[in-house]
Amino acid sequence: MLRRLPLAGLLAVILAVLLSAHVRAEGATLRVGVLKYGTVNWELDVIRHHGLDRDNGFTLEITPLALKDAAAVAVQGGAVDIIVSDWLWVARQRAEGRLFSFAPYSRAEGSLMVRPDAGVTTFADLKGKRLGVAGGALDKSWLLLRAYARQQTGTDAAELVEPNFAAPPLLNQLVLKGELPATLNFWHFAARLEAAGMRRLLSIDEVLGGLGIDRELPMVGWVFKEDWAEANRAAVDGFLRASDAAKAILRDSDAEWERLRPMMKAEDEATFVALREGFRAGIPQAGVEQAERAARQAYGVLAREGGEALVGKATELASGVFWRTAAQ
């Protein structure tokens, strides 16, 4: 019996129990690579601050990255375990034999923002005007807008407007200076423009609805190698539970956003509120099955608009793109 052990033996047993509990509590270390100033850092900070990694059986390690392309290289090379990317990238990788998986993180989408003095009240009013476009000619939002324009006006947006492709911060500056009448930009840049008095002409959510695509389409998600995730399923599923728990806190707690305010670099109260509400609006509401159905709908449109340069030779969404936890 334990009480008959000598003191040294008793201490050894206690130490072994404590070490075992410590190992169970920490679990695997998950290395998440994210852009240094990306909005995903807000959620990761909530996970760390509230110990949601420890509670879900893993230790979160954050690796800051400078560029989006660096994230893809890092996860492919094994320098990190998880990145944030889109399901379209995962679909192309899988179609070419590189088995990555995707778990929805956010459905926050960009918007088409216009200056209030641009004389633009309807989408058709953009005809012949310069439109700043973030993300390049193969960006999902731009391709969806091209399809939407063709449906609504009979003209491809690439012909209806004069697209000017540039980095998101530069596009915001040009709109605010009056050098561009309108821009299609990512959600957090659109939120900053709205806070500065620019007008939201059209959201990608409305574009999806107009194209008959389920609006619960996730725009970005957690991306990781399938074989690695299968070998570390408990930790990966724990990470996704922690992510959901962090989103619940951010959805319900204004106080949590006050804590995050310094990270957000909001210039004023209006920008802070726009960023907070934009993030909340992007929290996925649907389950994985509905999200995957929406992605299949969108894939058909994107493959048609972007062609082989975007999706490669695959004509439909590859199977296995969406990760399913043990509970799904």
Which are the contacts of 87, defined by CB distance < 8 A and separation ≥ 6? Answer: 102, 218, 221, 295, 317, 321, 322
Decide if 2-100+220-266 and 111-210 have a common fold. yes
CATH code linked to domain 2-100+220-266 = 3.40.190.10
Of the candidates 232, 228, 226, 287, the residue with the CA atom closest to the CA atom of residue 94: 226
Could you read off the pLDDT of 43-82 as tens digits, one per residue? 999 999 999 999 999 999 999 998 878 999 999 999 999 9
Coil, strand or helix: which one is 182?
Answer: strand
- Residues 138, 306: Cα–Cα separation, whole Å: 6
> What residues does each domain of the chain span?
2-100+220-266, 111-210
Q: Which residues contact 270 (CB under 8 A, 6 or more apart)?
A: 195, 196
The predicted pLDDT at position 328 comes to: 67
pLDDT < 70: residue spans in the chain: 1-26, 328
| pLDDT value at residue 21 | 38
Question: CATH number of the domain at 111-210, out of 3.40.190.10, 2.60.40.10, 3.40.50.300, 3.20.20.70?
Answer: 3.40.190.10
Q: What is the pLDDT of residues 75-122, one digit of tens each?
A: 999 999 999 999 999 999 999 999 999 999 999 989 999 999 999 999
Asked if residue 307 lies in contact with residue 222, where contact means CB atoms within 8 angstroms, the answer is: no
Closest among 53, 62, 77, 55 to 31, alpha carbons compared: 62
**pTM assigned to the model:** 0.88
8 Å CB contact between 221 and 85: yes
The pLDDT of residue 325: 84
| pLDDT confidence of residue 326 | 73
Distance CA 113, CA 234 (A): 42
Contacts of 131 (CB under 8 A, 6+ apart): 112, 157, 161, 162, 163, 164, 180, 181, 182, 183, 184
